[in-house]
Amino acid sequence: MDNVTKQLQAKVEDYSRFVITLLIVSFYFYMGSLITVYLKPSSEGSITLMILTTVSIVTSFYFVLKWKKYKQTLAENEQ
């Protein structure tokens, strides 16, 4: 395995970890916004948490696109 293939493999693994981590964080943000809305009514933090949830989901979608790109490049390199 050459150096380029190793770097692509590392990027594929990193982006998959980024996606998983961001989805977990967005779930926590979403649960936090539900708690502030329904269990302990407060309008202070719910908007902020929903914005953070949206940003983390959009960012994870961006990383999924990058992950697919690098995975496709890695598959083409191996052929």
Mind listing the pLDDT tens digit for each residue in 18-71?
999 999 999 998 998 888 777 777 667 678 888 889 999 999 999 999 999 999
Alpha-carbon gap, residue 74 to 14, rounded angstroms: 14
Alpha-carbon gap, residue 79 to 73, rounded angstroms: 10
Helices marked H in 1-79:
3-34, 46-78
Question: For the chain, how long is the longest CA-to-CA vector?
Answer: 57
- Report pTM: 0.80
CB–CB of 72/12 below 8 Å? Answer: no
